[in-house]
Amino acid sequence: MNMINSKAPDFTSPAVLPNGTIDEDFTLSEVIEGRYAVIFFYPLDFTFVCPTELIAFHHRAGDFESRNTALIGVSIDSQFSHLAWRKTPVNNGGIGELAYPLVADTTHNIVKAYGVQAPSGDVALRATFLIDRNGLIRHQSINDLPLGRNVDEYLRLVDALQFHEEHGDVCPAGWQSGAPAMKATTEGVASYLKENAASL
């Protein structure tokens, strides 16, 4: 389901906060108001690929925060399962404390609203959404269950979106913060390719 430039579906659901407390009425629109957000869905607590992703997001939470970007994880597990997984040591397959909230979607309503329920119907796929300050979805990606995400790619996309908003230029393939961008014109692409095509 293509959701690009659609309003991100709002939700209110229990969540485990970074300090380990449970917010029974975690509301997306309130948490991300005036900010960018990366919402990522994962299949299940106490599984295999999932903890590597959650820990990778945790290690980069400060990088997202420095970009005024809220980071939010969602699965169909309960808030109590999330809390138990956080309390399980990393060396025992747990995730430890996280610097971002984990939302409980036991009703599957959030998963369905974002169109990321697995064909089996019992879990979410590995889906990621980048939301701008107006609450619009500007990027979405969905991985099948065995395929872990590259968290650094989402930081790159946040940088690209913010660069575009500030400067109006568009960001070519593989663009990184500080690299040349291009004007969205025939002349702009020709100029960019003349200087950069060989390194693409």
Residue listed under structure tokens 């609203």? 113
Q: How far is 162 from 130, CA to CA, in rounded Å?
A: 11
Catalytic-residue membership of 50:
yes
What pLDDT shows up at residue 88?
96
Share of the chain above pLDDT 90, in %: 99
Q: How far is 175 from 159, CA to CA, in rounded Å?
A: 9
Q: Pairing between strand 69-75 and 102-104?
A: parallel
Residues 142 and 58: beta-carbon distance below 8 Å? no
Q: How confident is the model at residue 200 (pLDDT cuts 50, 70, 90)?
A: very high
**The CATH number, out of the four listed (3.50.50.60, 3.40.30.10, 3.30.70.890, 3.10.520.10), of the domain defined by the range 12-148:** 3.40.30.10
Question: What confidence tens digit (pLDDT) does each residue in 16-36 have?
Answer: 999 999 999 999 999 999 999
Phi, psi of 117 (to 5 degrees): -75, 135
Residues 140 and 157: beta-carbon distance below 8 Å? no
Q: How far is 8 from 131, CA to CA, in rounded Å?
A: 7
Among 154, 125, 148, CA closest to 44: 125
The 8-class DSSP code of residue 118 comes to: -
Torsion from C-alpha of 55, 125, 16, 97, nearest 10 degrees: -10
Burial class (CB in 10 A: 0-12, 13-18, 19+), 88: middle
- What is the per-residue DSSP string for 71-104? EEEEESS-HHHHHHHHHS-GGGT-----SS-EEE
- Mean pLDDT, range 58-74, rounded to an integer: 98
- Mean pLDDT, range 107-130, rounded to an integer: 97
Residues 156 and 175: beta-carbon distance below 8 Å? yes
Residue listed under structure tokens 């099948």? 144
- Mean pLDDT, range 74-80, rounded to an integer: 98
Extract the tokens encoding 30: 């309130």
The catalytic position among 38, 39, 50, 127 is: 50
What pLDDT shows up at residue 187?
96
